[in-house]
Structure 1
């Protein structure tokens, strides 16, 4: 850190310092100041140096990380005040248009599964390309932490997973969370749009002797009609990567396949300052493969589940996206008993 200050004093130009790349010292101090610990390995330091072009990107990478967010006091997070203008979000479309949207997302995530399977799930530099074994272990351990948080949330609502036989995880990716959900159910269905992710998820789970998981590749949007009825639905950091018309179709599916008394636990961004989605403009643009971030309004989510006979049990702001001036919510809905 002293070297960075010395360079700033010599040049007098903050921008020159910020644009001059990322040093080992900068990475070490980012870990110490923002995460309160030392870097795990030399390989992690090198990944951070290679994966961040300047200090600004390094800073933003750490500030957006789940580890930093968990350490941040709620009062320190940037909050929306509630008086922001409405988003214009079109979510209606013909079956043909929905199929086109789905195919675009399908193509993007299959490519991610082939080229960046771990990073596309958790976008930290240490998961790029072929991660070190210690990074892979940390990757899957983070899924266990997610399930522990899920259980604590249910307990706070006087609910539990006990007695619930079946579960569906939508957007299971590499099975990071799926393998930790599996012991709580007789059967769990891991659904994903990417065949490449699923193939790796199955192989990694089998290598660990994990059983009770049915891996399902969602090849088309019409396959949503074939998903089984279940007692629990789980989906985090997934829906946000779909355009609003696809998010709507998925959420309607959640509400439909949830069994009486069942629990749906899922996350989706519900507001972003300046966001809009106009279907014609989106389809007329260049639909290039990539990781998109979208928004779907709270009010429509409440209406969809109300029409299916389900009530909101919990709605919390979660900070899952790390995008400023955005609200992301984690919902729990429970369907009425028959």
Structure 2
């Protein structure tokens, strides 16, 4: 009798994940550095039912990516670097009511769709946060909110501001509550504000599961992008650039107007791109389906809005921003602004 065991059958390998429309859009952004021309182009890429690996290989071997590699491998002239005083880019900043509503509606539709398809991944575009993997990585996802809380702590400490003096915090563009839940451990009252109801629903559910009861939720609309009343800290990061410049300006006006005496606004915003231009009618004529938009607001406009609202500028720091071109071609800033308190205002008067 033979004691040799029969060979085990080979284990079946798990099926390779198939590419999704959002994978195609991500490939355009991360590999080619641009948005797809249209939704029809996205569908053409999916017609052959490629896996994610197939899709990545297709983009990396494309002629367009080849041209990009030749550009970055070739010696770059000094003119390719962003000068200390770059020329202003053409940006239309003001819109009437109907066009403002149209732009806000487009932004809302896009993020509501992402909230249904890939809510956590739309906030942090890492494979581990995709819908099929988020259950085992949800704890890690929400743990990243501590980074935003630490940033706020350090910026306030840098200017000698006690967080206890800022009891009401508003997290604008809160998504699924990544930072909002962390803020709830420091500020007595926190409001999470977002234009996507699916994102807000998940954020509220997570807060309930964690037993956090000091958060209010506000769904942004054209008439009410932010709740009524005042707040002591207004925070927004990696959010504003997904809105056209006139919308960014509109949101900042509302944010600044809602700051209570002594209140602080901490927000991040791209302020220059060498390849950027924006015209409202051209933007609206292109229609939706362009993927996640990336915009900017000139720094001078931020300062003008702050001055008009009577705010003082405490800090402007440059920050690397993944959604923008290389640091030599674009700028992103973190701003720290404050409304003078009653005592300060009396002294100034």
TM-score by length of 1: 0.75
Runs of 4+ in 1 over 4 A off after TM superposition: 48-52
- State the match for 1:249 in structure 2: 250
Give the superposition deviation at 1:189.
0.8
Give the superposition deviation at 1:52.
7.0
Instruction: Give aligned pairs, total.
Output: 270
Q: Within 2, Cα distance between the matches of 1:246 and 1:51?
A: 38
Q: Within 2, Cα distance between the matches of 1:98 and 1:248?
A: 11
Larger of the two Rg values belongs to structure: 2
Q: Within 1, Cα distance between the matches of 2:186 and 2:54?
A: 37
Instruction: Please say if residues 312 and 337 of structure 2, whose CA atoms lie closer than 8 Å, have aligned partners that are also in contact.
Output: yes
Deviations 1:284-315 (A, max 9, x none): 11222621110101111111111111111111
Instruction: Please say if residues 104 and 289 of structure 1, whose CA atoms lie closer than 8 Å, have aligned partners that are also in contact.
Output: no
The more displaced of 192-201 and 182-191 is 182-191
Instruction: Please say if residues 174 and 192 of structure 2, whose CA atoms lie closer than 8 Å, have aligned partners that are also in contact.
Output: yes
- State the match for 1:328 in structure 2: 332
Counterpart of 1:185 (choices 187, 190, 195) is 187
Q: Secondary structure in 2 aligned to 1:210?
A: coil
Instruction: Please say if residues 51 and 125 of structure 1, whose CA atoms lie closer than 8 Å, have aligned partners that are also in contact.
Output: no
Give the superposition deviation at 1:316.
0.5
User: Which ranges in structure 1 are unaligned for 5 or more consecutive residues?
Assistant: 1-47, 58-77
- State the match for 1:232 in structure 2: 233
Q: Within 2, Cα distance between the matches of 1:208 and 1:86?
A: 47
Q: Within 1, Cα distance between the matches of 2:153 and 2:121?
A: 26
Give the superposition deviation at 1:80.
3.0
Q: Secondary structure in 2 aligned to 1:296?
A: coil
- State the match for 1:6 in structure 2: none
* Counterpart mapping for 1:52-201 below 5 A: 53-54=56-57, 80-201=82-203
- State the match for 2:9 in structure 1: none
Instruction: Please say if residues 218 and 226 of structure 2, whose CA atoms lie closer than 8 Å, have aligned partners that are also in contact.
Output: no
Deviations 1:169-198 (A, max 9, x none): 100000000001012222111100000000
- State the match for 1:19 in structure 2: none
Q: Within 1, Cα distance between the matches of 2:121 and 2:144?
A: 14
Give the superposition deviation at 1:126.
2.0
Q: Within 2, Cα distance between the matches of 1:216 and 1:50?
A: 39
Deviations 1:188-230 (A, max 9, x none): 1110000000001100110111110001111x22213743210
Q: Within 2, Cα distance between the matches of 1:51 and 1:95?
A: 45
The 3 A distance-change label for structure 1 pair 263 and 52 is farther
The more displaced of 282-291 and 311-320 is 282-291
Instruction: Please say if residues 193 and 226 of structure 2, whose CA atoms lie closer than 8 Å, have aligned partners that are also in contact.
Output: no
- State the match for 1:337 in structure 2: 341
Instruction: Please say if residues 241 and 293 of structure 1, whose CA atoms lie closer than 8 Å, have aligned partners that are also in contact.
Output: yes
* Counterpart mapping for 1:236-315 below 5 A: 236-288=237-289, 290-315=291-316
1:217 correspondence with 2:219: yes
Deviations 1:52-108 (A, max 9, x none): 714987xxxxxxxxxxxxxxxxxxxx9733243211110211111100110000000
